[in-house]
Every structure is written in structure tokens, then in C-alpha cells.
Homo-oligomer: A and B are copies of this chain.
Amino acid sequence: MELTAGTAPTRRRDQILVEAARLFARHGFHGTSIDGIGAAAGVSGPAIYRHFPSKEGLLAEMLVGISEYLLDGARTIVAAHPDPGGRLTALVDFQVEFALTRPELITVQDRDLASLPDDSRRRVRALQRAYVEIWEDAIIRTGPPRDADQVRTAAHAAFGLINSTPRSAAHTSPEVAGAVLASMALAAVGA
């Protein structure tokens, strides 16, 4: 699962995806125009339709790609870390790394999900649910016993904490921010 793939013939395509993510994060899906995306990617307007079937299709590919990347990463971590403590730490580090590296994708994912067509939205939700379940399982195996609602709330709270990056890390070094977020997240889910 390569999120930044780039063999020669797909360079323009990837560029469009990157610029679209930046613009969606800044202005929202409905606040971004096809012409704007094209201009940012160095082509003009309708050239986008040579690479994507529609504006919604572009968003769909972006969000499905993110969800698959995250779920894949989480599954790899589960396989590599049988011990609960190490697994949870690795999950936290993985999410922190992603949030610090691609903050625009974090923003778009939880802001413009509702703009997806029904089938893509269901697909993304299913992937997200699987991802959350891995977290919930890791949280249950660590720390004090809690009921399902508490664990669910804790998992989402941890995501919210880590994903606060786009609002705060603009002027902070990634190393400092990453260390702070990781230790805060672990302290929070251990409470």
C-alpha cells in the first residue's frame, strides 16, 4: 500500500491528488472548484476528467486510499506485536506519524466524508470501523477493565487527540510535537 506512489505515467495523477487534498483541507470539498484543483496542479480545468471520473470520484479515491493505508498499517502492527503494550504503543506511533506527515489528509477525512457518494462512503466507513476495532482491542488488553462504550469513547478520544495536529503543529517541530502527542495519547488511554 503505497500512498505516494509515482511511476512515470501516473505523475500528473498523483499531483492532482496531492493538490486536491491541500485545497479540500483548506476550503472544504464544496468550497473547492475543479478549475482551482487544475490550476494548482499545473493544468487547466477539465483536464482532471482525463484522470478521474468526477469530482466525487476524486474524493472517493482519496478517502478510500487513506482508510486502506491506515488499516493495512494497523494489521501489520498487530501481526508484528503480540504483546498488548508494544502493540498499543506501535499503533499510537503509527497514527502520530501519519498525522504529522499528512495533516491535510487527516482534515479531509473527517471533514468531507459526508460528501462522498453512498457506496464509497459505506466502503470508507467499513474500513474505518475495522481500524477502530483494532484500537479498541488493543486498549482492552491494556490497563484497567472497561465496558464497550467506555472503550469506544476512549479510542475516538485518542484519535481526536492525535489528529489535533493540523490545528497546532504548524509552528512546532515534528519531533517535539510527535513526542508530546504520543505520550499524551498513551496516558489518556491508560486512564
The interface of chain A, by Cβ under 8 A from chain B, is 26-31, 110-112, 114-115, 149-150, 152-164, 167-169, 171-173, 176-177, 180-181, 183-191
Contact = CB atoms under 8 A, between A and B. Distances in A.
A189 B188 CA distance: 9
Contact of A150 (B28, B154, B180): B180
Contacts of A152: 168, 172
Interface SS of A by simple majority: helix
Contacts of A163: 160
Copies of the protein in its oligomer:
2
A177 to B, nearest CB: 5
**Closest 9 pairs (CB-CB, A-B):** A160-B164, A156-B168, A187-B191, A30-B30, A161-B161, A188-B188, A30-B31, A184-B188, A160-B160
Contacts of A153: 168-169, 172, 176-177, 180-181
